[in-house]
């Protein structure tokens, strides 16, 4: 049995899990305690998160952890995707079933918002990339559709903050998750109250912002009893999963601007770790974002549609009775013709299409490219399109930071995609270091270790990750074909 055990609740858009970090003072070993599915549910014509079921699964995972590790457990903390939220009234009752960010209610909402407050002013106040599902635009949709719920709201909690409330009763917003909302000012690190007022949003429902590593309190008595955990502490990690993943990058160059990361999964979040938010007109023009990181850093990054393209292709293939594993799709893609058809992953048609293969084919048809027909051609198109998007964003990051990026770290589930990793190295002409797959859990857990006083800096955390994880390196090759493809990359 290790000296101490820390628990991470990690929720993604496809699955959730409770992970244990077994800490011996020098290295950390991960064990998956409980995994469960997660996906949004259509309720009427809207897309919602079943947070009550998720909370039940979390409690089951915590109970399993208590049986396995007992009194060695020190603390627990949660990370999730960004932007989505739960509203509570003053009696701590949930107001409505939380919407999922792919819900259609925000279609067209940004254009209406810009007529009230100019785009440049919103960016100056928040420093965030414009996406229609950002919390600000979700709230404006709620103000239009269900104003009575906002009127009754006493507290807005983002998804991990809601889990922390369920665990210990805290009503706070952890900094990194709050920074995904487009409601936070990156200079003051507090709510953009002037902007919220202009939009007529009730600023009083936004809770106190706390930094990652904050001890939020002990478990509620009922939770402690039901799970058998006892009164262990709840610690806010970097509660946005990408913030935890970036904290989990095994770089030896903490504080140096010569590396970039891709947190690769359903979304690909590609960026650089910087000390100050970039609020220039050029950053706004490129639609990059400034999200909070550990130790007062910022993640200057671009949200890219990511492996969602492949996931939804697989879903469509399955529905047609052609069921493949992801490894089989990768093999088929490797045999398909190279750099034949390229799409823009961030085209809005790919956000939530009923048929992803058709959406890809329509894009190619409209841009007068060969239309991919086979499963291998479609998936290769998705992989190559992502790699070329990474190349484009790499150039933007170098321009905005004024530094050459020497290496790209790919972490998260997508780091297991050998074909995409090699395409990325080839397209970007940079070495690509892949792994750890569990960067998010590692970042979450090691912030908890640090909160207990056993680590003292982000550099120390990353040293532990290097000692505790395996990584691989993809060297770049075949530059000419990718150079030509980048020059010809189409937009409809």
Q: For 87, phi and psi rounded to 5 degrees? A: -105, 135
- Asked whether the predicted pLDDT for residue 489 surpasses 80, the reply is no
CA distance 108 to 289: 20
Q: Output the CA–CA distances (angstroms, integers) from residue 256 to 233, 288, 290, 300, 345, in the order listed.
A: 33, 20, 18, 14, 30
**156 strand-pairing partners:** 87
At 32, phi and psi to the nearest 5? -80, 120
pLDDT at 50: 96
Q: Would the CATH topology of 4-235 be identical to that of 242-435+471-492? A: yes
Q: How far apart are CA 436 and CA 335, in angstroms?
A: 28
Quick: pLDDT tens for 53-95.
999 999 999 999 999 999 999 999 999 999 999 999 999 999 9
Q: In the prediction, which pLDDT does 391 show?
A: 97
Q: Which residues contact 128 (CB under 8 A, 6 or more apart)?
A: 134, 179, 180, 181, 182, 289, 290, 291
Sign of CA dihedral 133, 135, 141, 146: positive
- The label of the residue with tokens 């290295």 reads 27
Instruction: Return d(Cα 173, Cα 183) in angstroms, integer.
Output: 12
Q: Which two tokens stand for residue 339?
A: 């750099």
Please answer whether residues 207 and 160 qualify as being in contact, where contact means their C-beta atoms are separated by less than 8 angstroms: no
Q: Is the pLDDT of residue 479 over 90?
A: no
Give me the DSSP letters along 270-335: EEEEESS----HHHHHHT-EEEE-GGG-EEEEEEE-TTHHHHHHHHHHHHTT----HHHHHHHHHH
The predicted model gives 119-143 an average pLDDT of 97
Phi, psi of 65 (to 5 degrees): -65, -40
Residue 10 is given by DSSP the state E
Structure confidence at residue 492 as a pLDDT band (50, 70, 90): low
DSSP string for 73-137: EEEEEEEB-SS-EEEE-TTS-B-SPPBPTT-GGGTTHHHHHHHHS-HHHHHHHH-----TTSHHH
Q: Is the dihedral of CA 235, 239, 243, 248 positive or negative?
A: positive
Give residue for tokens 């940079």: 430
pTM > 0.75: yes or no: yes
- DSSP assignment of 361-374, as one string? HHHHHHTT-PPP-S
Proportion of the chain in helix, strand, coil states, percent, rounded to 5: 45, 20, 35
Q: How confident is the model at residue 152 (pLDDT cuts 50, 70, 90)?
A: very high
Q: What is the average per-residue pLDDT within 121-134?
A: 96
The mean pLDDT of the chain is 96
Q: What is the pLDDT of residue 485?
A: 86
Each residue's pLDDT tens digit, 211-227: 999 999 999 999 999 99
Of 260, 90, 298, the residue nearest 175 (C-alpha): 298
Q: Is the pLDDT confidence value at 287 over 90?
A: yes
Alpha-carbon gap, residue 342 to 486, rounded angstroms: 9
d(CA 434, CA 395): 20
Domain 4-235 sits in CATH 3.30.420.40: yes
Between 3.20.20.70, 1.10.443.10, 3.30.420.40, 1.10.3720.10, what CATH number should domain 242-435+471-492 receive? 3.30.420.40
Which helix or strand (DSSP H or E) is residue 51 part of? helix 51-69
Tokens matching residue 135: 């919390």
Percentage of the residues of the chain whose pLDDT score is greater than 90: 96
Rounded Cα distance between 491 and 366, Å, is 9
Whether 2 has a pLDDT exceeding 60, the answer reads: no
Of 146-160, 305-319, 472-486, the one with minimum mean pLDDT is 472-486
| Sequence ranges of the domains in the chain | 4-235, 242-435+471-492
Q: Is the pLDDT of residue 293 over 60?
A: yes
CA–CA dist 292, 300 (Å, integer):
9
**In the block, which residue shows the tokens 């709201």?**
153
C-alpha–C-alpha distance, residues 328 and 302, integer Å: 29
Burial environment of residue 24 by CB neighbours within 10 A (0 to 12, 13 to 18, 19 or more):
exposed
Q: 3-state DSSP call for residue 140?
A: helix
- What per-residue confidence (pLDDT) applies to 3? 83
Band (pLDDT 50/70/90 cuts) for residue 250 is: very high
Mind telling me the catalytic residues? 241
* Three-point CA angle 164, 203, 292, nearest 5°: 55
Tell me what pLDDT residue 390 has: 98
Where do runs of H (alpha helix) occur along 85-240?
109-116, 119-126, 135-145, 147-152, 159-168, 175-178, 193-198, 221-227
Going by C-alpha positions, the residue among 178, 248, 274 that lies closest to residue 446 is 248
DSSP state of 25: S
Residue 435 scores a pLDDT above 60: yes
Single out the residue of 303, 304, 388 nearest to residue 340, CA to CA.
388
pLDDT given for residue 196 in this prediction: 98
Looking at the chain, how many residues does it have? Answer: 492
């Amino acid at each position: 049995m290790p000296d101490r055990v820390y628990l991470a609740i990690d929720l993604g858009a496809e699955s959730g899990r409770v992970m244990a970090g077994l800490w011996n003072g020098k290295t950390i070993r991960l064990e998956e305690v409980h995994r469960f599915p997660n996906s949004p549910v259509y309720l009427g014509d809207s897309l919602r998160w079943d947070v009550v079921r998720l909370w039940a699964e979390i409690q089951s995972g915590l109970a399993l952890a208590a049986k396995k590790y007992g009194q060695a457990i020190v603390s627990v903390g949660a990370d999730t995707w960004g932007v989505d939220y739960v509203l509570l009234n003053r009696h701590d009752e949930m107001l409505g079933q939380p919407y999922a960010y792919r819900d259609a209610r925000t279609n067209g909402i940004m254009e209406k918002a810009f007529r009230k407050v100019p785009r440049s002013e919103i960016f100056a106040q928040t420093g965030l990339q414009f996406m229609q599902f950002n919390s600000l635009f979700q709230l404006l949709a709620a103000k239009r559709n269900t104003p009575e719920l906002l009127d009754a709201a006493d507290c807005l909690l983002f998804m991990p903050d809601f889990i922390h409330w369920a665990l210990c009763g805290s009503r706070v917003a952890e900094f990194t998750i709050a920074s995904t909302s487009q409601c936070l000012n990156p200079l003051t690190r507090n709510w953009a109250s002037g902007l919220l007022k202009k939009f007529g949003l009730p600023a009083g429902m936004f809770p106190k912002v706390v930094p990652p590593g904050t001890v939020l309190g002990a478990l509620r008595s009922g939770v402690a009893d039901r799970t058998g955990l006892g009164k262990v502490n709840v610690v806010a990690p970097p509660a946005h999963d990408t913030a935890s993943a970036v904290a989990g990058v095994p770089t030896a160059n903490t504080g140096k601007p010569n590396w970039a990361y891709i947190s690769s999964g359903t979304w690909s979040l590609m960026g650089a770790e910087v000390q100050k938010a970039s609020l220039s007109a050029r950053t706004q023009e490129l639609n990059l974002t400034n999200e909070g990181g550990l130790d007062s850093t910022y993640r200057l990054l671009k949200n890219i549609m990511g492996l969602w393209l492949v996931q939804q292709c697989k879903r469509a293939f399955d529905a047609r009775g052609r069921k493949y594993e992801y490894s089989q799709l990768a093999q088929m893609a490797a045999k398909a013709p190279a750099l034949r058809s390229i799409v823009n992953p961030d085209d809005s048609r790919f956000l939530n299409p009923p048929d992803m293969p058709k959406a890809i084919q329509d894009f190619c048809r409209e841009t007068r490219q060969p239309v991919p027909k086979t499963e291998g051609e479609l998936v290769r198109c998705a992989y190559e399109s992502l790699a070329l998007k990474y190349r484009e964003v790499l150039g933007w990051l170098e321009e905005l930071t004024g530094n050459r990026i020497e290496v790209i770290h790919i972490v998260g589930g997508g780091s297991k995609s050998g074909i995409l990793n090699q395409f990325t190295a080839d397209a970007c002409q940079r070495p690509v270091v892949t792994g750890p797959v569990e960067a998010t859990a590692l970042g979450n857990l090691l912030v908890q270790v640090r909160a207990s006083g056993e680590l003292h800096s982000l550099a120390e955390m990353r040293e532990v990750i290097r000692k505790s994880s395996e990584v691989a390196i993809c060297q770049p090759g075949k530059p000419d074909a990718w150079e030509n493809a980048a020059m010809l990359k189409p937009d409809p």
